Amino acid sequence: MDEQSSTTLDQTAEAAAETPPAAAQEVAQDVALELASDFERFLTGLLRPWNAYQVAIALGLVLATYLLTRLLAPRLHNWMRTLTGLPTWRMRLLVILHKRLNLILFAALIWPTVWIMREVTWPSRSYMLAIIAQLTLAWLIIAVLTRLIANKFLRAIVRYAGWIWVTLSILNLTEETQLLLDSAALDIGEVHLSLWLIVQGAAILGILFATARFVTKASTDSIKRNVEISPSMQVLLGKLLQLALYSAAFFIGLRAVGVDLTGLAFLSGAIGLGLGFGLQKVVSNLVSGVIILLDKSIKPGDVISLGSTFGWIEALGARYVSVVTRDGKEYLIPNEDLITGQVVNWSHSNDFVRLDIHFGTAYHDDPHLVRRIAIEAAQSVDRVLSKKPPVCHIIGFGDSSVDYVLRFWIEDPTGGLTNIRGNVYLALWDAFQAHDISIPFPQREVTMLRAPED
């Protein structure tokens, strides 16, 4: 783009800034005509000898890059497969470089070419190659840096936005693009909504939200490492911090692009009305989650029973509680169910849990001996507590057995309840077999009566 066209576009941009919104379409047409004429001059310039030479050199470098990539990529891949014991970040860096090998090789070829042409000929005769070299290096840096973003969708957005921005910056087209986007606008009352405002707002909000997410994660990890704060309070502080930072990022971003926040009063009223009618369950779960965190009735790590679900709490969410059972299933229980339903918290005030086992022995067995053997059998199981010794009591005389209850304590309900009961039953069986104590079972006699004779 020559100096005369640049001056013309600057004058057009100044005129657009002073033009009322009604004439924005005419400004857009003027800018489009200027860009079209610049593109026509660019195509005409390509026909000049030295410009054609530069295009031919660039195409030759592209071909050389393709051949080198076909030659070196398999060898680099085989060499990477032989590496063992490398740290994860080094292997990840090698994978990134392997995937971007074509850009790396092209940048390695074009930059020395530009330096040689600047020394051999006039700098203006390597102008196009210098632009291509700058674009290649900028695209390569953006492609490598965006690999640090874990989310694939966000990574793609940041990558393509970065490529577009550096391309416009290197080609000195940022002002023209801004003017063109700003001319495509829609006036809603006193609000001037343009494409440039939308792009600017999306970029600012994206940066602010990413910053808020990073600060929230770092602060939450720091809170979780503080052992003086209870688990439920850690979750509550993390949620409040997340809400505050994201809300601040949203309002700061809107103010940065010039949105009048007073107009959001009507919107907030409409949202409140919608919450009152259509989102009752969602709001109820959100409020119930806050209540659970405040009253500390349950917390991460607690063992609970809700209906037929038995497991320990993995995480407390804004809408639900994650409960993991012994068989690996993860139940997402709404917070409202934990507030309105009956929940058994096996580890609310402490981790001690008492378990009962019922059994019976024959009437000819000594009940004093049975009680002593049952207590010793329970004490022989590893998870049964000795500081809270087991007890055994007679609870009744049944039809065919003397009925007992064996009570013992554990302090690790997350280890399971069924398995510890099974171990105690096995210990009772072995002890009763060793002392010839029998476990009776119901027996019935059937008497066959002869039919009376006539």
| Residue 172, Ramachandran bin (φ over 0: left; ψ between -120 and 50: alpha; else beta) | left
The structure tokens listed for 101 are: 């090998």
Q: List pLDDT tens digits, range 85-103.
A: 777 777 777 787 778 888 8
The structure tokens listed for 163 are: 């490529």
CATH topology of domain 260-346: SH3 type barrels. (2.30.30)
Q: Which CATH architecture has domain 353-434?
A: 2-Layer Sandwich (3.30)
Question: Does the model's pTM come out above 0.85?
Answer: no
Mean pLDDT of the 200-209 span? 78
Instruction: Assess whether the region 260-346 and the region 353-434 belong to the same CATH fold.
Output: no
Q: Are 370 and 422 in contact (CB under 8 A)?
A: no
Task: Identify which of 288, 269, 294 has the alpha carbon closest to the alpha carbon of residue 336.
Answer: 288
| Residue 436, Ramachandran bin (φ over 0: left; ψ between -120 and 50: alpha; else beta) | left
Query: Which pLDDT score, from 0 to 100, does residue 9 have?
Result: 44
Percent of the residues in the chain that have a pLDDT greater than 90, as a whole number: 14
Query: Which pLDDT score, from 0 to 100, does residue 14 have?
Result: 47
Mean pLDDT of the 34-52 span? 57
The structure tokens listed for 303 are: 């063992």
Query: Which pLDDT score, from 0 to 100, does residue 408 have?
Result: 93
Q: List pLDDT tens digits, range 340-394.
A: 888 888 776 677 888 999 999 999 999 999 999 999 999 999 999 988 899 999 9
Contact partners, residue 366, CB within 8 Å, separation at least 6: none
User: What sign does the dihedral 267-269-273-279 (CA atoms) show?
Assistant: positive
Greater confidence (22 vs 125) lies with: 125
CA dihedral 35, 40, 42, 46 (to 10 degrees): 160
Q: Are 202 and 181 in contact (CB under 8 A)?
A: no
**Cα 129 from Cα 228, distance rounded (Å):** 62
**Cα separation values, 237 from 45, 224, 365, Å:** 63, 10, 61
Domain limits of the chain? 3-193, 260-346, 353-434
